[in-house]
Amino acid sequence: MSECTVTRSQPQLHRRARALVAWGLVWAASGCGAEGGGREGGGSGAGGKGDNLGETDGESTGADDGGVTADHRAEVLHCDMLASRLREHTSLARVDAIVALERERNDCLVSANDGAVVVVESVLTAAGDPYAGGGLAAWKDHRNAALVACNAMVEAHVDAASDARRSVAATCVGDFEAQLGAILDAHVDFGAVPHAIPAARDRYDDCYLAHDDELANAPGVDAILEAAAADTTLAACIRDVHDGVVGELAARVVASFPGRDVEAVESELRGAAAALRSAREQVCEIAVRAGPDRAAGGFVATAAECAVDAAILAGAAFDLVAPGVVPGGPGEGGTGTTDDGGSGDTTG
């Protein structure tokens, strides 16, 4: 197989997934794009950051292709699988090709996640939930916050001062969109077994030990509220770990851009992280209200679980832009996760 070979995927794909395949086939037929530093048609601008990767070329209603949103998890996996196949045959040195690939991946994921709004809104509307009608706006707020966070964080990357920064930023934006999809699959009732986000005890062991201790010493009066409180503590502890490395990220930024003020950079990073955290809280609120536990009124407990999921997923952004700054990431003697269940099963 030549280095430019692109494998065709299954025929029944979401519209955006099919577009990603089509782009890959055209890209392969043209000799895998421009060589060296040459630009390709449709490449990103020269802004050096993530640009506006959260936008697609049109709004998705989720109703196209015969309501395939019922298998949202499969759509998300298709987007990542197709992008991975193309990425295997693309040199990281060809920044425009990587940026174009990541834009297509992001558009595919955006379409899949926007399609999930149909399921979310049908559940919320039927229940007369006050959050009905807010799904798409929450998703877009998340994308805007993710774009800002990626553009801030990418400056801490070792290649921040080079053109390669654009490809890292593009990957970051797509990763956050994939994380949005993972949160939906873990908490929205799609009529299938939820996709559990793995716990991360080996990466945040002190946080999990404190969580275990809080549960062990709970009064045992209300198991749901006590579990929610322990998960809230766990999520906050994981976020504190991330907050603790922001100073190091700021120092890395200033090392690449000596004219920058380290305190201003750190403030920018913390502001971006806070905005993304707020946007994810809104996504979690809507997702759990459209989840399988809504009939039992378990919003408090499931919202706390979702907060843990969001905190765990956020660690991947650090692994992308500054590998090793948060210990326990991929390639550091561990996977960053454990096999002891998702955030709802946090015992060791």
Backbone angles phi and psi of 334, in degrees to 5: -165, 170
Strand partners, 342: 198
Inside any domain, residue 331: no
SS3 123: helix
pLDDT of residue 174: 95
Whole-angstrom Cα distance, residue 315 to residue 336? 9
Whole-angstrom Cα distance, residue 237 to residue 228? 14
Whole-angstrom Cα distance, residue 18 to residue 288? 30
Inside any domain, residue 342: no
Tokens (6 digits) for 163: 């053109």
Query: pLDDT 10s per residue in the chain (348 long)?
Result: 433 333 323 333 444 444 444 444 333 333 333 333 332 333 222 233 344 433 333 333 333 333 334 589 889 988 988 877 777 767 666 788 889 889 999 999 999 999 999 999 999 999 899 999 999 999 999 999 999 999 999 999 999 999 889 999 999 999 999 999 999 999 999 988 888 899 999 999 999 999 999 999 999 999 888 999 999 999 999 999 999 999 999 999 999 999 999 999 999 999 999 999 999 999 999 999 999 877 665 677 888 999 999 999 999 999 999 999 998 877 554 433 333 334 445 554
Inside any domain, residue 3: no
Inside any domain, residue 327: no
Inside any domain, residue 42: no
Inside any domain, residue 330: no
pLDDT of residue 237: 98
Inside any domain, residue 124: yes
Inside any domain, residue 213: yes
Domain that holds residue 139: 15-36+64-321
| Number of separate domains in the chain | 1
Sequence-separated (6 or more) residues with CB below 8 Å from residue 215? 226, 227, 230
CB of 54 closer than 8 Å to CB of 144: yes
pLDDT of residue 49: 37
